[in-house]
Chain A
Amino acid sequence: MSSSVNFIDPNVLASVDNLELRARLAVEGFLSGLHRSPHRGFSVEFTDYRHYYQGDDTRHIDWKLYGRSDKLYIKQFEDETNSRCTILLDTSASMSYASGEVSKLEYGRTLAAAMAYFIMRQRDAVGLITFSDKVNHVLPAQYRQGHLMQILRTLVHLEAGEATDTVRPLRDLAANLRSRSFVVLITDLLEGEEQSIRLLQQMRSMGHEVIVFHVMDDAELNFPFQEVSEFVDLESDASLLTSPGAIRQEYLDAVGEFTESCRKQCQSHGVDYCLLNTSEPLDKALAAYLTRRGRSF
């Protein structure tokens, strides 16, 4: 099986306006490549009985109990399944950078949608938190009809903020997570990465499963510039005149050092770390999630 056959290029995905369709294309493409899902069998969890009222779905009547008590009871199921997953999407200004057609934010948006779709498809509860220098949207993790559409609608209307503050949303999230949850962080980690990872470590110590999708643009990772140029910081507007060829190696070393540092810090505390290039398909991210999901439940 070749990924080039089964997974859709991010640029192609980005050309699809409908985010739901985009998420579905990404997930279905990924799943069809697996042939067989190792995670089937999750069922709805029974919680209580109630009296039958006219109009209830007769399929939910517990006929065994009716045989014993001669009364009609309806089985009630909790609207959550095995797992609760919260997706944290960084919408800071640096996430709006794009060397090609797909920005990091767009890539993260598609990834978040695909993750949500994928999680819901597995009957897990999914929530969404977007943030820049503050928390912008909070959709608690739920598994119910319409919740996915609400998440997708929120993702569609996302816009990049001006600055980044990953720490505060993570702190709020860590404080509010009660039951054991799955936390997916989609960010470029360009600001406060040490504090952010430290908070993720705290979550991990609280029993939550945490995975970090470190989204980097291809130009950030490979620095393909040639001519002497004036580089302007997307967030601070600071500028610097330089010859890219002269600093490429030092830059690549610095970036490699940075990503490696992030990886080591995450892995040392059980936080999964996945570096994503916006020029690559989403399968890597989905596979990483599935791996983590299968290991946890």
Chain B
Amino acid sequence: MSFLTPIFLFGLFAAVIPIAIHLIRRDKPPKIVFSTLRFFRQTTRKQFLLQKIQQWLLLLLRAAVVSLLVLAFARPFFSQSVSAWADLAPRSVVVLVDVSLSMGYRDYLDRAKTAARSIINDLNPGDEAAVILFSETARAVYGPTSEFATLHGVIDGIESPEFEKTRYFPAIRLANELLEDSRFDIKLVHLVSDFQNSGMKDFDSNWRLEPGVDFFTENVGYEETKNLAITGVKSPANLRGSEREDELFVRVRTLGSLRLDQAEIAVSINDQEQTRKVVNLQERSETVVGVSVKFAEEGSHVGKASVVDSDFELDNDFYFTVDVLPRIPVLVVNGDASKNWYEDEAHWFTLAASSNQQSPFVLTTVDHNAFDARDLDTHRIAVLLNVGDLSSSQAQALHAFVEAGGSVLFAPGDQVRAGNFNRQLGNVSPATLIDHGNLAANDYLLIAQVENRHPIMRELNVDWGVRFNDYWALKPAESAEVLMKFDNGAPALLEREVGKGRTLIFASTLDLEWNNLPLQGMYLPLIHETLKHLANTPEKNSSYLVGEKVRLQNGAATTNLLDPSGEALTLQEGEDGFTLRRPGVYRRVVGDQTLYYAVNGAAEESDFASVSPAVLVDQVLNPATTPTKSAAVRTQLLKMELEQPQRLWWWLLLLVVLLLLTESFVANRTHR
């Protein structure tokens, strides 16, 4: 027996009312003084007993009338349970469970697990379901299966969130693909998440779920959230030279719907606390704290900036590294030396590259005639400034130098003859020389095109304003990359990889002879960025985000790698790097050198600003999809279908009428 509207069954308590009245009114009967009892005595005892019986019968009738009325309103029906439920069309369901970093906020993860269990519990035997745990990408896929206990085991096995950011659409797309191959026509996707607004990024607005795939959401987030987070530390990835003092900038922010007034920040380097400050966040939600740190020794230093916040601890620490490296030795070969500084070919270059003690470069300048191949052994970079003819031994030394990993910068000028240059250095230079002096007396060229993605040019995407009165027309080598062009389309700067090294050629001089570049503000950064690039320092960031991949230049086989928990990571054969999976500090031992990789969770995960689930539904639901009725609605409809032909409530009401008639009859014969 089931009920269409079981809420009315609470009305059964009303059946107590007649009983309560009966009990309440069982007072001592009143005394009536009467003239004589002579007419009473013969019939009282028998009638009194009968009255008692009739009163109890009335009580039962009245309680039964109330109960039957309540039952009638509850609309009872005989449930043909097995056959009825079997009529429900089977469904294919995919449950997407958000396990991104933000799900570590308070009890979000437990709420998500509860919601997911509830969805699976609502499935009927015969349905099939899959569970996808996702963050930035789908982390794991289980199912589809009809063994729901397996899926419960998957959900129970979620112990902590991933450390990645949230992206809804990769997971939704994967769910869509799973449902394409599903067995049943009713296809549902349930998304369980805190619905962070940042999860809506990278969305293809033209994409929709397949027609017929319905989409439901379970929001486990709270309306009120509060969070303190270190959203970033601005620090140099590496410094050149010991005894360096530099300033770090720690960015702290209060996030969530409730603002926090202040935060206590602690900064430590190599586990030594450098400073601890309380910052005020009343006026601004974000503030930047500068911390001056002195690095006494060369090597890799691990830093951590922390803030105290018990609601969301996963973003309380921000890790970073500062590598203090030795200064880069640079050999400058001067092809046109002069005692007058304004005529010396290397004057401006030397001035830009090592004007003070803080310069990351150590320059050794030699005249091109004194250039010895052995000089290259102690330098990483060789710079040939307007160097004319080289001896064959010099040229061979340069070639071997580049092949072994060294770098060379060519800046040819009027001392250079194209034929000799091309013959001696054409196999290492990014381009061969054609000619120069093609411009009219008053004509000049400008820099017109820059390859912004190149490491040298990445920070130099500005108006150069340099006038070139002369330049070498170049013919780029096949493997060369043009980094900069003149406004006539001629290459101005080219790069080429040769062996383990690389070479660059600038199509004009680096002094004032053919251009006014040394007088421009861009000259110094151009020289510095070019030399840094040529130093070929292993690329390493101050900090990384979870999910990023670190590429290893020296090959994975030589790498001894430990994750933040100290667990050794084994790289597969052929892998050229490793993916950072969790916040903290990864250690990589290469020979006698240890490199540290600071890893942090995505800063956007600290922001709990949410998007309405309805917005997401509108984005992904195909307009051609007929909304699927929820299990509750379908069950209710099924109940109505079962109840309609039975209409037991009619019979109950008829019974109530009969009982009321009986009650009236008995009541008329019953006297209190």
The contact string, 1 if C-beta is below 8 Å from chain B, for chain A 229-264, is 111111110111111111110110011001000000
Residue B40 interfacial (CB < 8 Å): yes
Chain A residue nearest to B47 in the complex (CB): A246
Contact yes or no, A97 B35, CB < 8 A:
yes
Least distance between A250 CB and chain B CB atoms (Å)? 4
Given contacts A97-B34, A243-B671, A246-B47, contact A251 B39 (CB under 8 A): yes
Give the residues from 28 to 44 in chain B that come closer than 8 angstroms, CB to CB, to chain A.
29-44
B33 with A227: CB separation less than 8 A: no
Indicate which residue in A104, A227, A234, A240 contacts B672 across the interface (CB closer than 8 Å).
Answer: A227
Instruction: Give bound CA distance, A217 to B29, whole Å.
Output: 23
A226 at the interface (CB under 8 A from B): yes
Which one, A234, A239, A245, A251, contacts B35 given CB within 8 A? Answer: A234
B51: CB under 8 A from chain A? yes
A225 contacts partner chain B, Cβ-Cβ < 8 Å: yes
Q: How many A-B residue pairs have CB under 8 A?
A: 97
Please determine whether A247 and B32 come into contact, CB atoms closer than 8 angstroms.
no
Is B351 interfacial (CB-CB < 8 Å)? no
Secondary structure class of chain B's binding surface, majority of residues: loop
A-B contact pairs, 17 of them (CB 8 A): A94-B36, A188-B35, A190-B35, A219-B34, A225-B32, A227-B30, A228-B672, A230-B32, A232-B31, A234-B35, A235-B35, A235-B36, A240-B37, A245-B672, A246-B50, A248-B671, A258-B39
Within 8 Å by CB of B42, from A233, A235, A241, A250, lies: A250
Is the beta-carbon distance between A229 and B47 smaller than 8 angstroms? no
Known: A227-B30, A234-B34, A234-B36. 13 other contacts (CB 8 A): A217-B35, A228-B672, A229-B29, A230-B29, A230-B30, A230-B32, A232-B33, A242-B40, A246-B47, A247-B44, A247-B47, A250-B47, A255-B39
Q: How far is the CA of A117 from the CA of B31 in the complex (A)?
A: 39
**Which residue on B lies nearest to A257, using beta carbons?**
B39
Instruction: Judge whether A227 and B29 touch: CB under 8 Å.
Output: yes
Which 5 A/B pairs are nearest by Cβ-Cβ distance?
Answer: A245-B671, A246-B47, A97-B35, A254-B39, A250-B43
- Size bracket, chain B contacts: 20 to 34
Residues on B with C-beta less than 8 A from A245 are 51, 670-672
Q: Complex formed: what's the CA distance from A246 to B47 in Å?
A: 6
CA distance in complex: A240, B48 (Å): 11
Q: Shortest Cβ distance from B314 into chain A, in angstroms?
A: 77
Contacts of B48 in A (CB 8 A): 241-243, 246
* Chain B residues whose CB sits within 8 angstroms of the CB of A247 once the complex forms: 40, 43-44, 47
| A101 within 8 A of partner (CB) | no
Chain A positions within 8 Å of B, measured between CB atoms, are 94, 97, 104, 188, 190, 217, 219-220, 225-236, 238-248, 250-251, 254-255, 258
**Looking at the complex, which one of B30, B33, B38, B51 makes contact with A246 (CB distance below 8 Å)?**
B51
Among B33, B34, B47, B50, the one with the most A-chain Cβ atoms within 10 Å of its Cβ is: B34
Q: How far is the CA of A130 from the CA of B531 in the complex (A)?
A: 149
Residues of A within 8 Å of B50, CB to CB, are 246
Question: What is the chain B residue whose CB lies nearest that of A254?
Answer: B39
Determine the chain A residues whose CB is within 8 A of the CB of B36 once the complex forms: 94, 190, 233-235
Minimum Cβ distance to chain A for residue B41 (Å):
7
Q: Which residues of A contact B672 (CB under 8 A)?
A: 226-228, 243, 245
Say whether A240 contacts B40, CB under 8 Å.
yes
- A236–B40 Cα gap in the complex (Å)? 14
Q: Using Cβ atoms and an 8 Å threshold, which residues of chain B touch A229?
A: 29-32
Give the Cβ gap from A160 to chain B, nearest Cβ, in Å.
Answer: 11
**Chain B 578-598 residues near chain A, CB threshold 8 A:** none
State in angstroms the CA–CA spacing of A94 and B672 once bound together. 27
Contacts of B31 in A (CB 8 A): 229-232, 239
Which chain A residue shows the least CB distance to B30? A229
| In the complex, chain B residues whose CB is within 8 Å of the CB of A97 | 33-35
CA distance A217 to B34 in the complex (A): 10
- Chain A's closest residue to B43 (CB) is A250
Instruction: Please provide the chain B residues from 515 to 547 with a CB less than 8 Å away from any CB of chain A in the complex.
Output: none
A243 to B670, CA, bound (A): 9
When the two chains form the complex, which single residue of B30, B33, B38 contacts A190, counting CB atoms closer than 8 Å? Answer: B38
- A249 nearest CB across to chain B (Å): 9
Contact across chains for B671 and A226 when beta carbons are under 8 A apart: yes
Binding site secondary structure of chain A? mixed
Rounded to whole angstroms, the CA-CA distance of A142 and B29 in the bound complex is 52
Name the contact of A238 in the complex, choosing from B35, B37, B39 (C-beta under 8 A): B37
Smallest CB gap from A93: residue in B: B35
Residues on the A chain within 8 Å of B40, using CB: 231, 240, 242, 247, 251
In the complex, which of the residues A232, A255, A258 contacts B34, with contact meaning CB atoms closer than 8 Å?
A: A232
CA distance A247 to B38 in the complex (A): 13
Most buried by B among A228, A245, A246: A246
- Taking the closest CB of chain A, its distance from the CB of B66, in whole angstroms, is 24
A231 to B43, CA, bound (A): 14
CA distance A254 to B29 in the complex (A): 24
User: What distance in Å separates the Cβ of B249 from its nearest Cβ neighbour in chain A?
Assistant: 93
In the assembled complex, the CB of A173 is this many whole angstroms from the nearest CB of chain B, namely 24
Smallest Cβ distance from B31 to chain A, in angstroms? 5
Residues of chain A within 8 A of B51, CB atoms compared: 228, 243, 245-246
Determine the residue in chain A with the shortest Cβ distance to B50. Answer: A246
In whole angstroms, how far apart are the Cα atoms of A158 and B41 in the complex? Answer: 32
**Which single residue of chain B is at the shortest CB-CB distance from A95?**
B35
Q: Find chain A residues with CB under 8 A from B671 CB.
A: 226, 228, 243-246, 248
Smallest Cβ-Cβ distance to A220: which chain B residue: B35
* Cα(A190)–Cα(B35), bound, Å: 9
Residues of A within 8 A of B41 (CB): 240
**Known pairs A227-B672, A243-B51; A234 contacts B44 (CB<8 A):** no
Q: Smallest distance from the beta carbon of A20 to chain B beta carbons, Å?
A: 28
Contact B47 A231 (CB under 8 A): no
* Smallest Cβ-Cβ distance to A255: which chain B residue: B39
Q: Known: A226-B672, A227-B30, A228-B29. Contact between A242 and B44, CB under 8 A? A: yes
The closest CB in chain B to the CB of A98 belongs to B35
- Cα A219 to Cα B670 in complex, Å, equals 21
In the assembled complex, how far is the CB of residue B53 from the closest CB belonging to chain A, in whole angstroms? Answer: 11
Q: Look across to chain A and name the residue whose beta carbon is closest to the beta carbon of B37.
A: A233
User: With a CB–CB cut-off of 8 A, which chain B residues contact A236?
Assistant: 37
| Whole-angstrom CA separation of A238 from B33 in the bound complex | 10
Please name the residue on chain A nearest to B34 by beta carbon: A231
Q: 8 Å CB contacts to A: which residues of B194-251?
A: none
**Is B39 a contact of A233 with CB atoms below 8 Å?**
no
Contacts of B42 in A (CB 8 A): 250, 254
Nearest opposing residue in chain A for B25, CB measure: A227
Q: How far is the CB of A233 from chain B (nearest CB, A)?
A: 5
Chain B residue contacts of A255, Cβ below 8 A: 39
* Contact of B29 with A241 in the complex, beta carbons under 8 Å: yes
Task: Tell me which residues across on chain A come within 8 A of B29, comparing CB atoms.
Answer: 227-230, 241
CA distance A49 to B36 in the complex (A): 57
Give the docked Cα–Cα distance between A236 and B50 (Å). 28
- Cβ A231 vs Cβ B37 within 8 A: yes
Minimum C-beta distance from B219 to chain A (A): 63
State which residues 340-385 of B face A: CB under 8 Å: none
Q: Which residues of A contact B33 (CB under 8 A)?
A: 97, 231-232, 234
Instruction: Give the docked Cα–Cα distance between A217 and B33 (Å).
Output: 13
**Assembly CA distance A233 to B671 (angstroms):** 22
> Which residues 71-117 of B have a CB within 8 angstroms of A?
none
Cα(A255)–Cα(B42), bound, Å: 13
Q: By the criterion CB–CB under 8 Å, are A243 and B39 in contact?
A: no
Q: How far is the CB of A147 from chain B (nearest CB, A)?
A: 32
Residues in B whose Cβ lies below 8 Å from that of A239: 31
Q: How far is the CB of B49 from chain A (nearest CB, A)?
A: 10
Q: Within B1-49, which residues are at the interface with A (CB < 8 Å)?
A: 29-44, 47-48
**What's the Cα separation between A217 and B670 when bound, in Å?**
26
- Alpha-carbon distance A68/B86, docked complex (angstroms): 140
Beta-carbon nearest neighbor of A230 in chain B: B31
| A243 CB contacts on chain B under 8 angstroms | 47-48, 51, 671-672
